[in-house]
Structure 1
């Protein structure tokens, strides 16, 4: 499991969301969600919406560091 995938899972599970639900809340197809999660997408356009859905910062999703 890559780092972004692990961080997404870390935030998704306590919210009791399945991957399909996250994709629906971010308003993307599940395939797009999978591409973000597998780090296949170099510049995911939906990181902001994903961070809101998962209640975390974009910087944490990308690097696991909190923004100052």
Structure 2
């Protein structure tokens, strides 16, 4: 018979700070402007064709990592 073990016994209780940037910092530093995102992707010159003509009310937040 195989003894039962806790479901999450193989998952560490907490992650160390060395696993990479925290999600809070990534959230704060995320790109929130459509034009800034296009510039980062090298598509700024196509903004007139890619961006909506008016604010759609849809929030943008893209991590830079």
TM-score, normalisation: structure 1 = 0.25
TM-score, normalisation: structure 2 = 0.26
Whose radius of gyration is greater, 1 or 2? 2
Q: Which has the higher contact order (CA 8 A, sep 6+)?
A: 2
